[in-house]
Structure 1
């Protein structure tokens, strides 16, 4: 009987030890299969291109395929909500720009596309910031924001393009309208490319866009950069003044992107991914490539992205309400 009790006791201890070790072992073997990065925008977009560049380098470090899966639709909310409902095992990640935070405030979302901006995801890392720039077609007759505002106040009908209603670009345009006391008409597009194409062609007078997508046109003089939406000038376009410098000190709107995982993803996995991605975006090759998109690396701990997301939620949420910004 004593021998039997001893065997049972040893067996119980072995089982307990096995259960205690299993989770640690599971984390130690991550990743054991391919990882999917969900991009909520079409192939060819800035977000998609940056995601693919990072996925390639992350795969080399993790010795597993890292696949970019595009799930566009409903202003990016379909892909965002897909990740919010995914298994929290580290094998489904979201790479997203900042409409992640504001889209639920301006869109009437179905239950399938809804998600909790502040509490439904685990922040992994903020990858980069992208300054917003106001550009004008040369035919408008305005080479600066004061000249543009003067034209609008004189009664000239002006328009500005954005990549979509409710986007940071739309918010920047309406915020400047209010601050300057003018009404420059918003023309929303479905994406950045068509908005840029139409301002280059002169079908719309001005546009709010990210810096990288118009750099070729500003360097050729086909578009005139009037102002940067960030709080300070961009090293990628140091000659372009900020709106704050031009007297609109409170009008500050930028763009950023980052990685999120479903809520409940183990912190060991989050830290592992954060460490690799921090090292990746410090690479001179990646820094140089990001610059072609008008982006500058940020990095840091997951808390950096969490704070950026929470601040944007508070500040942009108030603006969206005050400016009555909505999207169909």
Structure 2
């Protein structure tokens, strides 16, 4: 049995219903539920968590309270949930970099966690594309032109929201696939990336659509490509890297709900059912699309598979490119 298969079997078993947990699940929730977001208030992850918290409060008939515990690249809040009691009263709402962080951060004993071992997946609820953008003033009109200019000797760089982010990784994947060395410029978050790309202080930047879609529509920025397996619902006219000939570069960002390891199966089922119902609500879909986030959904196994696959893939890529975060 391959390593990946063993991981899938073990991780799936951790998220499977245990008969002995039924009694505990029936009395849940007995008090308010805390939904941890391991990043500051105001970002995409926080905004979406608050949408779900409002709806889950009505469905669970107990307050669902979003609590921000930022720091250490998300490791502080994530590790807090990993160590919480698996009783369904402390949950984690996390973006996909939570899988990458243990491979690129120098974590202390207090903040160390395993994405595949310390959590019980509930649902992958949202998908976010990664988009490569440039200011219209740069004159760069396509990925082909960007690569051609890099090969011709023009000094170029690309911005990302941080070392070790999915945007950093996809930037290095494009470098390798195209045979160029466009320099990486790491920022602390998406807002300064957008500001410096708008000002043409850095030629191109990798971000998520929500941070740039209005600038694209206003003609201030040009979207060159998205890195997902298919085109974005938010930016349907923008080609994928795969369409442009870079078939091995497919990186999607996502968000998901999970609890600590050992979360009872009855609680997992209840949360998963409620979340799937929420994701079908017209007003929720409208809010997500307004944030340039594509709703997902499905069974817990979907998030389980995503985490295991990402962990294996990004561990290799981080080592290959020698990526470390500050």
Same fold (TM over 0.5): yes
Q: Which runs of 5+ in 1 are unaligned?
A: 1-21
Once the two structures are superposed, the pairs formed by residues 281-300 of structure 1 within 5 Å of their partners are 281-300=279-298
1:218·1:225 contact (CA, 8 Å) conserved in 2?
A: yes
- For 2:112, the equivalent position in structure 1 comes to 114
Residues of 2 paired with 1:305 and 1:325: CA distance?
Answer: 25
Looking at structure 2, the residues matched to 276 and 300 of structure 1 have their Cα atoms a distance apart, in angstroms, of 11
Aligned residues: CA RMSD: 1.3
Equivalent residue, structure 1, for 2:216: 218
State the TM-score, normalizing by the size of structure 2. Answer: 0.92
Could you tell me which residue of structure 1 aligns to residue 312 of structure 2?
Answer: 314
CA displacement 1:214-272 (0-9 Å, x = unmatched)? 10000011110000100111122111001111111101111000011001111111111
- Post-superposition, which runs of at least 4 consecutive aligned residues in structure 1 deviate over 6 A? none
Shift of 1:311: 0.7
Corresponding residue of 2:325: 327
Superposition deviation, residue 139 in structure 1 = 2.4
The correspondence of residues 81-92 of structure 1 with structure 2, limited to 5 A, is 81-92=79-90
Determine the structure 1 residue equivalent to 2:16: none
The Cα offsets for residues 154-201 of structure 1, whole Å up to 9 and x where unpaired, read as 211111111110000000111101111111111111111121122112
State the shift of 1:140 in Å: 2.1
Q: Which has the higher contact order (CA 8 A, sep 6+)?
A: 2
CA distance in 2, matches of 1:116, 1:104: 7
Cα drift, residue 284 of structure 1: 1.3
Structure with higher Rg: it is: 1
Q: Distance in 2 between matches of 1:53 and 1:70?
A: 15
**Quick check: 1:163–1:192 contact (8 Å CA) kept in 2?**
yes
- 1:139 paired to 2:137: yes
Report the secondary structure of 1:203's partner residue: coil
Partner of 1:241: 239
User: Paired residue for 1:53?
Assistant: 51
Number of corresponding residues: 307
How far apart, CA to CA, are the structure 1 residues paired with 2:252 and 2:175? 17
Q: Is the 8 A contact 1:212 1:291 kept in 2?
A: no
Give the TM-score of the pair, scaled to structure 1.
Answer: 0.91
What is the CA distance between 1:32 and its match in structure 2?
A: 1.5
Partner residue of 2:33?
35
Q: Residues 88 and 263 of structure 1 are in contact (CA less than 8 Å); yes or no, is this contact kept in structure 2?
A: yes
More moved, 152-161 vs 270-279: 152-161
The answer to whether 1:196 aligns with 2:194 is: yes
Q: Distance in 1 between matches of 2:23 and 2:310?
A: 38
Q: What is residue 166 of structure 1 aligned with on the other side?
A: 164
Counterparts of 1:203 and 1:289 in 2: how far apart (Å)? 32
1:23 Cα deviation (Å)? 6.8
**Which deviates further from its counterpart, 26-35 or 215-224?**
26-35
Does residue 259 of structure 2 align to residue 261 of structure 1? Answer: yes
**Matching residue within 63, 69, 72 for 1:71:** 69
Please give the alpha-carbon distance, in whole angstroms, between the structure 1 residues aligned to 2:153 and 2:128. Answer: 33
* Shift of residue 68, structure 1, vs aligned partner: 0.5
**Separation (CA, whole Å) in 1 of partners of 2:45 and 2:204:** 23
Match of 2:17 in 1: none
Q: Is the 8 A contact 2:24 2:264 kept in 1?
A: no
Q: Which moved more, 1:136-145 or 1:216-225?
A: 136-145
Decide whether the 8 Å contact of 1:118 with 1:310 is kept in 2.
yes
Match for residue 8 of structure 2? none
User: 1:97 Cα shift?
Assistant: 0.4
- Distance in 2 (CA, whole Å) between partners of 1:26 and 1:103 is 32
Structure 1 contact 121–263 (Cα < 8 Å) conserved: yes
